[in-house]
Amino acid sequence: MNAATAPAAVIEISQLTTRFGSHVVHDDLDLVVRRGEIFALVGGSGSGKSTLLREMILLQQPAAGSLRVLGVDYTGIAEAAAHALRQRWGVMFQSGGLFGSLTVRENVGLPLREHTALADRLIDEIADWKLALSGLESTVGGQYPAELSGGMMKRAALARALVLDPELLFLDEPTAGLDPTGAAEVDQLIGELRRQFDLSIVIITHDLDLLWQVTDRVAVLGDGKVQGLGPMAELAELAAPAVQAYFTGPRGRAAEKGSATWKAK
């Protein structure tokens, strides 16, 4: 592909090194996420997925290397630029991160209260719209997080991540802890969001169904580097042990089979 037809990058990571004391988590790591794609980060526990996510959303600084997100270089970034950038992405943390003392509607509207001067009534309306978009009924807005099921909690957290109309969405384990039906619904929702909006999505996940059915490309982290990168069907052909761990065994094969029928819909 030449420069004119290559999709623009939303995230460019180059020669990134992360250390905690003498423990090297990322070792000269390079990674590019393209505009408009659903990209997944996978890897064993402790391979540095969450740390990489924190670095991508400006919560943590690497020891060396460069990060560029939505065209903004993080090297020496000023607070004003960081603040502006935080409004251009949405993050759904693994725990959901909803405040227990606020209603679901208030939780979803919170980023708008922080970042805009919109009237309360308008913020509530936008929050309700994002809740509907995430597949929740309007009555859920008045409930408290403790009253929600796991699946509803994930949807509410997604609604909050979407409330500022982000260009880039980060999802940390969006299907973890859900039953198969709930997980399949979230898979479908992620696919729909990308179709409806001009979104790029980065997902951290272990969920093989999600990987096969929704993602465009997947990066496998291991030993501080990207061990494999590509669409699932291509990765499945790679022999590297860190990559094969995701494809061998009955669960991997079942997820691969399921993908053929689902994607055709």
Query: Within positions 113 to 152, which residues make up the interface with Mg ion, using CB under 5 A?
Result: none
Closest to 112 measured CA to CA, from 163, 168, 167, 166: 163
Q: How far apart are CA 145 and CA 3, in angstroms?
A: 47
Residue 168 region by backbone torsions, left for phi larger than 0, else alpha for psi between -120 and 50, else beta: beta
228 scored as a contact of ligand ADP (CB under 6 A): no
Q: How far is the CB of 45 from ligand ADP (least distance, A)?
A: 4
Phi/psi region, residue 94 (left: phi>0; alpha: psi -120 to 50; beta: rest), is alpha
Size of the site for ligand ADP (CB under 6 A): 10
How are the residues of the chain apportioned to helix, strand and coil, as percentages rounded to the nearest 5?
Answer: 40, 25, 35
Smallest distance from Mg ion to CB 128, Å = 32
Residue 57 or 156 having the CB closest to ligand ADP = 57
Q: Which residue number, 47 or 200, has a Cβ lying nearer to ligand ADP?
A: 47
Residues 55-84 that bind ligand ADP (CB under 6 A): none
Q: What is the DSSP letter of 8?
A: P
Q: Which residue is nearest to Mg ion (CB)?
A: 50
- In the stretch 18-57, what mask flags binding to ligand ADP with x, by CB under 6 A? --x----x-----------------x-xxxxxxx------
Instruction: Note whether 50 binds Mg ion by CB under 5 A.
Output: yes
Which residue, 134 or 215, is less far from ligand ADP as judged by CB? 215
Query: Among residues 68, 3, 6, 84, which one has the least CA distance to residue 31?
Result: 68
Residue that the structure tokens 């059915």 belong to: 213
Q: How far is CA 60 from CA 50, 64, 74, 134, in A?
A: 11, 12, 11, 29
51 binds, among ligand ADP, Mg ion, none (CB under 5 to 8 A by kind): ligand ADP
Is position 205 an interface residue for Mg ion (rule: CB under 5 A)?
no
Residues of this chain that interact with Mg ion (CB under 5 A) are 50
Residues of this chain that interact with ligand ADP (CB under 6 A) are 20, 25, 43, 45-51
